[in-house]
Structure 1
Amino acid sequence: MSAKRGDDPVALRDERFVRFFDRAFSRFFARRMRALRVARWGMPEAPEGVPLVIFANHPSWWDGVSFLLLARRLFPGRQGFVPMDAAALARYGFMRRIGVFGIERNSARGAAAFLRTARTVLAHPSHMLWMNAPGRFSDARERPVPIAPGLSHLPEIAPGAVFLPLALEYPFWGERAAEALAAFGPPIPASELLALDRAARAERMRAALEAAMDRLAEDAIGRDPARFRALTEAQEGMGGIYGLWQRLRARLRGEAFDPRHDTDAPRES
């Protein structure tokens, strides 16, 4: 059964809204986070001409913002769609215009509706479905990583899709704002997942996601920006009157001004 336009995220998505909110979210992100960085080993590898399912861990409220920023910068020729709790989406109706669609959690009816909508989204080869694999918030160190049941059903409704694990972390390094760190694991064709039963399928996805999360954790502990490609960066240092005083003091001393708090930390090359 086809979805009504009011329930169809493909019909509702408006690229003008996506561009507007990309700018708005970018400014919002820059005021509160230090940078969005992708591990150099973890840049996405995805074939053209097939739909993508990007399944991530769910450590923070910031995940939805990260999804939009990553999608616009790393997959410019694709349209992204994201499921969200229907009750929460009711408070942010504008998000329907940027590809977000509501799901009723913890019910058979909601699960069936999610799969119907996912089938509509993944019917087009330029579409991407971004989702948090656990289906709930979970710490980046939690093992085993929870895998929501609906994820293992997706290969059956999109046998031509490719699945990409995505690890996310938001650590604090040496500055006042946190880092948003991301890394994609190797792609998994739906055909590979379809060769497994659903339980084994979920384990395959879990293992792929945990491997990316474990490797990203090593880079997060290393605190070396050179291991990452920065997609966005905010101004460093305290800013304001104190930042102005630091700059003036450095000039009076004939020193180069470095706004960072942690001046011993390596800079991104």
Structure 2
Amino acid sequence: MLEPSPLALRDARLFGFFHLVFSRFFRRHMGALRVPPWGIPQDPEGRPLIVLANHPSWWDGVAFMLLPVAFFPRRQVFIPMEAAALAKYRFMRRLGVFGIEPGPRGAVAFLRTAKEVVAAPGAMLWMNAPGRFQDVRERPVAIAPGVTRLPEIAPDATVLPLALDYVLWTERRPEMLAAFGPPLRAADLLALDRDAREARIREALTETMDRLAEEAITRDPARFTTLAAGREGMGGIYDLWRRLSAWARGRRFEPRHAHGTKSG
């Protein structure tokens, strides 16, 4: 029995509600979501859009909820997920997430669904190119076999590499860093054989990841645009004491550990 189309299952109002839920969850547990100015994408309006990201963390799923709304508010995002994992979070099918079964039959079904998604006006496909968790420092960057077939089902699409990283700087909570690389034309990828196509996708994603890593090493929030900011400081009794001490001295309370830095 065929699964219902993700286009039919997706509920825009439910997606909007869970976007708020994920946003609040992010602010409770993360320091900030930051994107360098060079990593802000342009929407190739009127063309199918495929975003291919690396896969360093569980938090990638949260990034896939926040970044599409920030940069592509006129589009609906659809995301493939391992079917066994999706079975634990069936509500996510109403958010545009669809299952992928392992094996050749699963690959055929994925490409069929992906083709339906990218052909729909205003829809876009986001996926983790490695097809598995992979540390940001591991090289070469893995490219799942089905990724190289995407230009074949959407030759007029724009393909955007997306680098994701999670770092601890001077505050208690980690930073989520993201950057989009220069767009690739699916037609140009289609002109290559599959081995060369895989190499070109890997090269584009690796270059974007490396450039984002250079920004992360600076530990300078001023080099980024901040899309969302979480709580600052230690919290609890420690920050209460610091707040009272600042008040007693007639000073403004600064919750950040590194007073010389800005949130962006």
Q: TM-score range by the shorter chain?
A: over 0.9
Q: TM-score, normalised by structure 1?
A: 0.95
Superposed displacement of residue 130, structure 1: 0.5
For 1:222 and 1:257, the matched residues in 2 are separated by: 26
Q: TM-score, normalised by structure 2?
A: 0.97
Task: Indicate if the aligned counterparts of 1:46 and 1:162 stay in contact, CA closer than 8 A.
Answer: no
What's the counterpart of residue 10 of structure 1? Answer: 7
For 2:120 and 2:40, the matched residues in 1 are separated by: 23
Report the residue type matching 1:47 in the other structure: P
What's the counterpart of residue 243 of structure 1? Answer: 239
Instruction: Provide, for residues 22-70 of structure 1, a one-character-per-residue CA deviation record: whole Å limited to 9, x for no partner.
Output: 0111111111111111111100123111111000000000001101100
Task: Report whether the alignment pairs 1:96 with 2:93.
Answer: yes
Aligned pair partner of 1:168 in 164, 168, 191: 164
Instruction: Provide, for residues 188-228 of structure 1, a one-character-per-residue CA deviation record: whole Å limited to 9, x for no partner.
Output: 11111111011101111100000100000011110111111
Give the 5 Å matches for 1:150-189.
150-189=146-185
For 2:109 and 2:22, the matched residues in 1 are separated by: 29
Task: Indicate if the aligned counterparts of 2:43 and 2:72 stay in contact, CA closer than 8 A.
Answer: no
Task: Report whether the alignment pairs 1:29 with 2:35.
Answer: no
Count how many residue pairs are aligned between Structure 1 and Structure 2: 264
Superposed displacement of residue 268, structure 1: 4.2
Task: Indicate if the aligned counterparts of 1:164 and 1:186 stay in contact, CA closer than 8 A.
Answer: yes
Task: Indicate if the aligned counterparts of 1:52 and 1:129 stay in contact, CA closer than 8 A.
Answer: yes
RMSD value over aligned CA atoms?
1.2
Report the residue type matching 1:134 in the other structure: P
Aligned pair partner of 2:192 in 178, 186, 196: 196
For 1:268 and 1:27, the matched residues in 2 are separated by: 18
Task: Indicate if the aligned counterparts of 2:30 and 2:231 stay in contact, CA closer than 8 A.
Answer: no
For 1:239 and 1:41, the matched residues in 2 are separated by: 34
**Identity rate of aligned residues, in percent?**
62
For 1:263 and 1:133, the matched residues in 2 are separated by: 38
Secondary structure at the aligned position of 1:177 is classed as: coil
Secondary structure at the aligned position of 2:167 is classed as: coil
- Unmatched runs of 5 consecutive residues or more in structure 1: none
For 2:83 and 2:158, the matched residues in 1 are separated by: 26
Task: Indicate if the aligned counterparts of 1:58 and 1:136 stay in contact, CA closer than 8 A.
Answer: yes
Report the residue type matching 1:52 in the other structure: L
Aligned pair partner of 1:51 in 48, 51, 56: 48
Task: Indicate if the aligned counterparts of 1:45 and 1:186 stay in contact, CA closer than 8 A.
Answer: no
Task: Indicate if the aligned counterparts of 2:77 and 2:123 stay in contact, CA closer than 8 A.
Answer: yes
For 1:157 and 1:191, the matched residues in 2 are separated by: 11
Secondary structure at the aligned position of 2:18 is classed as: helix
- Unmatched runs of 5 consecutive residues or more in structure 2: none
Task: Indicate if the aligned counterparts of 1:122 and 1:128 stay in contact, CA closer than 8 A.
Answer: yes
Secondary structure at the aligned position of 1:59 is classed as: coil
What's the counterpart of residue 39 of structure 1? Answer: 36
Give the 5 Å matches for 1:137-148.
137-148=133-144
Task: Indicate if the aligned counterparts of 1:46 and 1:187 stay in contact, CA closer than 8 A.
Answer: no
What's the counterpart of residue 262 of structure 2? Answer: 267
Report the residue type matching 2:31 in the other structure: R
